[in-house]
Amino acid sequence: MSKTIVGIDIGTYHVKVVIAEAADTPGVPPRILGTGYAESRGLKHGYIVSIGDVSRSVAAAVSQASKAARIKVKRAYLGLGGVGLEESFARGETVVERGDSEITERDIPRAIAASEKALAPSATLNRKIIHTIPLRYTVDGVKVLGHSPVGMKGMRLTVETLLITCLERHVNDLVEAVEQAGVEVEDIVAAPIAASFVALSKMQKRVGCVLANIGAETLSIVVFEDTTPISVKVFPIGATDITNDIALGLRISPEEAEQLKQGAVLGAPFPKRKIDDLIAKRVNDMFKLVESHLKKIGKDELLPAGIILTGGGSSIQTMPDLAKAVLRLPSRIASFADGAASKMQLKDGSWAVAYGLTIWGLQGSDMEAPQGGGSINEALSQSWKWFKKFLP
């Protein structure tokens, strides 16, 4: 029997659910069995203000997807976004275990664990670590070329890691909302990383790029270099802010403003130049935040594949040009017309997170943990699973 996997993306505007089936041929994207969506209730800027309302929205979306796929949903992978998502960087060091100084797979999780312990208490206060991503290794102070130092010789192994954290209360509330809807949460994945599985190509990840997911109330970005995510950030600004600016600037209802934002022509004559100016001002503010973050991590104007836009807010016609002007980088809307996305029947960029969660889950389910017990084997398994998802 083919394995099925479910992805749930709880956004501020919509809850989206995708049910996918693993392909018989390795490397072929999963086949979509059913999708469902419902209007989100009980969220603000991606965080929960009413668990009950969110649970009812999840239940409605899951029910719709279940009917389409003719499968009862029991477990799912959950996308985690919102302004509570943050990043921290840490450095950990361990003494090589073997007497002949050869680095083995047992040394890697001990170095990673040391980096987590090295985090400042303020970075983990009321927060939960979602992903621990090894960025680079050094052996006795010499940088390791490639993703693994296994087989090299040295006395000390050092690792620099990116740790993606989220407010623990937010994580617990999301899980509780999903479980109240009758669905067990198998794993939690940062939403920007889940979206990257369908919005970015291997080439874009390898040479360096930034993926910007423009949601209703949040703008989330993930920066890739050498196939590895090196930074994740969420800003409390989104497409709804553009709609509100148009409504206030033209003194019209939010419903009319939303239509104008999408390029509709309404009965009353509204000057196109003023509409474009209102959109441009807010979008410029959004990409100035992205530019500031890229400067902070030393990657401004240094990402050859540029910025790739996805999410519901990316449908605004002038968005790519405005991003290019502010960031001075190549800019494009994520293409779903070819590659994995087309085979997955991806509807538009707003479904990227939900579809990406199914790929994450299917790839993770194909990997066996090392034999034997203990936390070291478990940590090594998780580290290997992480890298295998991104390797070409």
CATH of the domain at 133: 3.30.1490
Domain boundary among 284, 305, 333: 333
- pLDDT by residue (tens digit) across 282-301? 999 999 999 999 999 999 99
> Which helix H or strand E contains 123, and what residues bound it?
helix 121-124
User: Rounded distance, CA 260 to CA 60, Å?
Assistant: 30
Answer yes or no: is 287 within a domain: yes
> Which helix H or strand E contains 129, and what residues bound it?
strand 127-139
pLDDT at 343: 47
pLDDT at 345: 53
Answer yes or no: is 11 within a domain: no
**Are 110 and 209 found together in one domain?**
no
DSSP string, 182-207: T-EEEEEEEHHHHHHHHHS-HHHHHH
**Are 220 and 146 found together in one domain?**
no
Block means of pLDDT (10 residues each) for the chain, 392 residues, are: 86 91 77 91 84 95 94 94 90 93 92 92 90 93 88 94 93 95 94 92 94 92 94 93 94 90 76 91 96 95 94 87 95 69 59 91 55 36 49 44
Answer yes or no: is 117 within a domain: yes
Domain boundary among 314, 333, 352: 333
Domain boundary among 165, 190, 218: 165
What are the Cα distances from residue 30, in Å, to 67, 255, 378, 391?
Answer: 19, 37, 27, 18
**Are 206 and 324 found together in one domain?**
yes
Answer yes or no: is 293 within a domain: yes
Answer yes or no: is 57 within a domain: no
**Are 231 and 320 found together in one domain?**
yes
Answer yes or no: is 37 within a domain: no
| Domain limits for position 269 | 202-333
Q: What is the DSSP letter of 334?
A: P
**Are 306 and 211 found together in one domain?**
yes
> Which helix H or strand E contains 172, and what residues bound it?
helix 168-180
**Are 247 and 323 found together in one domain?**
yes
**Are 213 and 161 found together in one domain?**
no
**Are 321 and 238 found together in one domain?**
yes
Domain count, the chain: 2
Answer yes or no: is 324 within a domain: yes
CATH of the domain at 257: 3.30.420.40
pLDDT at 346: 58
**Are 221 and 156 found together in one domain?**
no
pLDDT at 367: 36
Q: What is the pTM (predicted TM-score) of this model?
A: 0.87
Answer yes or no: is 381 within a domain: no
- pLDDT by residue (tens digit) across 336-370? 644 444 444 556 778 889 999 999 988 865 433 32
pLDDT at 103: 93
Q: How many helices (H) and strands (E) does the chain have?
A: 13, 16
User: Rounded distance, CA 129 to CA 90, Å?
Assistant: 12
According to DSSP, the β-strands at 209-214 and 307-310 are parallel
Position 271, amino acid: P
Residue 160's DSSP bridge partners are 91, 136
**Are 227 and 299 found together in one domain?**
yes
DSSP string, 279-321: HHHHHHHHHHHHHHHHHHTT-TT--TT-EEEESGGGGSTTHHH
What is the SS3 assignment for 21?
A: strand
**Are 252 and 329 found together in one domain?**
yes
Contact 167, 126 (CB under 8 A): yes
- pLDDT by residue (tens digit) across 151-169? 999 999 999 999 999 999 9
**Are 211 and 291 found together in one domain?**
yes
According to DSSP, the β-strands at 142-143 and 75-80 are unpaired
User: Rounded distance, CA 224 to CA 200, Å?
Assistant: 10
